């Protein structure tokens, strides 16, 4: 369904003040005029796309500057409108956001798949990372743009469908996940997977449909029992069902050799309450009613996921031997699980994310924002001419993450497979420099053994201990590798690049770019 100007303004009316609505009206007029005569592949007027993007941003609860940038996001790249024009009418913030989204589009157009990362794509990748790292709203606008393009992908030729779908799974789905935007990640993954492997998508869809018919009837009785027990305890709650997405099911089946019998969470019951204390009360009541599967109790409230997700998960066995998963969370936790970082941009507040991404120590930075800081650091290194492989980018930015703890209880976010030295350098470069050993969960731990989620890591240091060249093989993150190499150069253990060599490399880089 295509949305018109008046419908967008009606959608926006409850959320923005009179002056902001006038700005939105003006932005739609400018974009409509700029895109006049342009058509989408469907044959419809191009303006339906920016209007759809803006509608999505309103639905996500974004500030007015983001919505204006959503309306105007293609004008600089595709029409005669300039950034100066946008700044003149709507101010520096909106122009900055439009410029950022334009850079992402230009970078994306020149990128190969991340798995085929080549030197000539470095500048494009650098633009992408710099653009999304400067202001989180840039990537949120880009996610809204990508979502609508996926929703209308049927009008594109097959080769374009495959390229856009693959890129969505490799780059934009993980970006949504890192920002905690679970609902958006799921929408992107479902749409992309349906184009990449339509036969498997339909097969799993049919399998889910058949199994849900039986599960829904069985779950009805469990739901009634839980509903009654919670009301008796005077707990205010909402209870509803959650169906596992097709792409999540596909990934899970790959881990269990395709055995559907090993999938316990195809459908789960979600209980939403008013407070954290109520979450734990509900967990206790469920474990009184049913036998818990101890190994499947997950407390993501005390230890959130790296993207900020919080919830209690438990899987129980009912007297009829039915296995049921429950998710328990507060209303705020649920909003964040659905909208992630976008939930931080409240209506009317004009909140810029730049304040979030100022450099702070890893321990105090909100866990779901550590990714933005890591992204900014890598963007800076790419901008300075450093080569970073696709495998390293996948480790630092798009791979799975783990949490580890310091003995004081501070939480640190590392890539899956991260090593003790990665932790030491994340805490502080001097801690890494003077490390001579590690204790993990109270036991001596070797330098080359990966850390696991939830580990408590103690770095043993002494002033006389200094980095060794062999340590280069015992770090996984770009951050640790760069800190270590700088220290080794300073100690004369490895040679720095001579001034002449640096000049030659810079000339070669400029020659390639021209």
**What is the DSSP secondary-structure string of 398-449?**
IS-EEEEE-TT--EEEEETT--HHHHHHHH-HHHHHTEEEEEETTEEE-TTS
Region 444-469 average pLDDT: 93
- The superfamily CATH assigns to domain 5-196 is Hypothetical protein af1432 (1.10.3210.10)
Lowest model confidence (mean pLDDT) among 203-212, 243-252, 344-353: 344-353
Higher-confidence position of 474 and 378? 474
Q: What is the pTM of this model?
A: 0.71
Q: Looking at 25, 77, 85, 299, which residue is catalytic?
A: 77
pLDDT of residue 511: 58
Region 9-24 average pLDDT: 94
- The superfamily CATH assigns to domain 198-340 is Beta Polymerase, domain 2 (3.30.460.10)
Q: Which two tokens stand for residue 398?
A: 């798009």
Lowest model confidence (mean pLDDT) among 209-213, 349-353, 467-471: 349-353
Phi first, then psi, for residue 331 (nearest 5°) are -60, -40
pLDDT band at 404 (very low <50, low <70, confident <90, very high): confident
pLDDT of residue 398: 60
Q: Where are the domains of the chain?
A: 5-196, 198-340, 367-513
pLDDT of residue 354: 40
Say what percent of the chain tops pLDDT 90.
51
Q: Looking at 78, 170, 338, 416, which residue is catalytic?
A: 78
Find all residues with CB under 8 Å of 65, minimum gap 6, and list them: 90, 91, 93, 94, 97, 137, 350
Region 273-302 average pLDDT: 95
Number of residues that this document lists for the chain: 514
Q: Which fold has domain 367-513?
A: Ubiquitin-like (UB roll) (3.10.20)
Region 371-397 average pLDDT: 64
Region 386-403 average pLDDT: 64
441 dihedral zone (left: phi>0; alpha: psi -120 to 50; beta):
left
pLDDT tens digits for range 34-52: 999 999 988 999 999 999 9
d(CA 356, CA 233): 40
Q: Which two tokens stand for residue 67?
A: 């919505």
pLDDT of residue 390: 57
Question: Considering the chain, what is the average pLDDT of its residues?
Answer: 82
pLDDT tens digits for range 85-107: 999 999 999 998 998 888 776 65
Annotated active-site residue 338? The verdict is: no
d(CA 141, CA 83): 17
Region 141-167 average pLDDT: 93
Annotated active-site residue 93? The verdict is: no
pLDDT band at 374 (very low <50, low <70, confident <90, very high): low
Region 14-20 average pLDDT: 93
pLDDT of residue 1: 60
Nearest CA to 191 out of 209, 172, 168, 207 is that of: 168
Lowest model confidence (mean pLDDT) among 167-171, 233-237, 498-502: 498-502
d(CA 117, CA 14): 45
């Amino acid at each position: 369904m295509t949305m018109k100007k008046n419908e967008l303004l009606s959608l926006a009316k409850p959320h923005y003040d009179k002056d902001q609505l006038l700005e939105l009206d003006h932005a739609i007029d400018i974009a409509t005029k700029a895109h006049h005569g342009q058509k989408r592949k469907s044959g419809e007027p191009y303006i339906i796309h920016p209007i759809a993007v803006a509608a999505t941003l309103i639905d996500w609860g974004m500030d007015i500057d983001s919505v204006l940038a959503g309306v105007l996001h293609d004008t600089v790249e595709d029409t005669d409108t300039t950034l100066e024009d946008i700044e003149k009418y709507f101010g520096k913030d909106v122009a900055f956001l439009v410029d950022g989204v334009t850079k992402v589009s230009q970078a994306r157009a020149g990128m190969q798949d991340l798995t085929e990362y080549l030197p000539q794509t470095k500048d494009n990748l650098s633009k992408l990372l710099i653009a999304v790292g400067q202001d989180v709203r840039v990537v949120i606008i880009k996610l809204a743009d990508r979502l609508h393009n996926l929703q209308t992908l049927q009008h594109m030729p097959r080769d374009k469908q495959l390229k856009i779908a693959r890129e969505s799974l490799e780059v934009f789905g993980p970006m949504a996940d890192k920002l905690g935007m679970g609902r958006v990640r799921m929408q992107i993954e479902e749409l992309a997977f349906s184009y990449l492997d339509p036969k498997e998508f339909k097969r799993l869809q049919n399998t889910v449909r058949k199994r849900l018919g039986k599960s829904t009837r069985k779950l009805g009785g469990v739901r009634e029992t839980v509903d009654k027990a919670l009301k008796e305890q005077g707990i205010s709650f909402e209870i509803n069902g959650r169906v596992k997405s097709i792409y999540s099911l596909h990934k899970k089946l790959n881990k269990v050799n395709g055995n559907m019998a090993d999938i316990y969470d195809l459908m789960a019951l979600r209980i939403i309450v008013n407070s954290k204390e109520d979450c734990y009360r509900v967990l206790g009541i469920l474990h009184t009613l049913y036998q818990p599967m101890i190994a499947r109790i997950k407390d993501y409230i005390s230890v959130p996921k790296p993207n900020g997700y919080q919830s209690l998960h438990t899987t129980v066995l009912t007297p009829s031997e039915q296995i049921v998963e429950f998710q328990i969370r507060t209303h705020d936790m649920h909003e964040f699980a659905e909208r992630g970082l976008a939930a931080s941009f409240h209506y009317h507040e004009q909140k810029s994310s730049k304040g979030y991404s100022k450099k702070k120590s890893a321990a105090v930075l909100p866990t779901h924002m550590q990714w933005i800081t890591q992204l900014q650091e890598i963007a800076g290194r790419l901008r300075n001419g450093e080569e970073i492989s696709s495998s390293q980018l996948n480790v630092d930015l798009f791979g799975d993450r783990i949490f580890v703890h310091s003995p004081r209880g501070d939480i640190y976010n590392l890539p899956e497979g991260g090593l003790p030295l990665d932790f030491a350098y994340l805490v502080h470069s001097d801690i890494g420099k003077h490390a001579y050993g590690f204790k993990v969960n109270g036991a001596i731990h070797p330098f080359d053994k990966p850390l696991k989620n939830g580990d408590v890591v103690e770095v043993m240091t002494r002033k006389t201990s200094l980095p060794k060249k062999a340590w280069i093989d015992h770090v996984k993150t770009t951050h640790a590798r760069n800190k270590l190499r700088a220290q080794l150069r300073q100690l004369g253990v490895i040679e720095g690049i001579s001034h002449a060599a640096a000049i030659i490399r810079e000339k070669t880089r400029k020659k390639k770019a021209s």
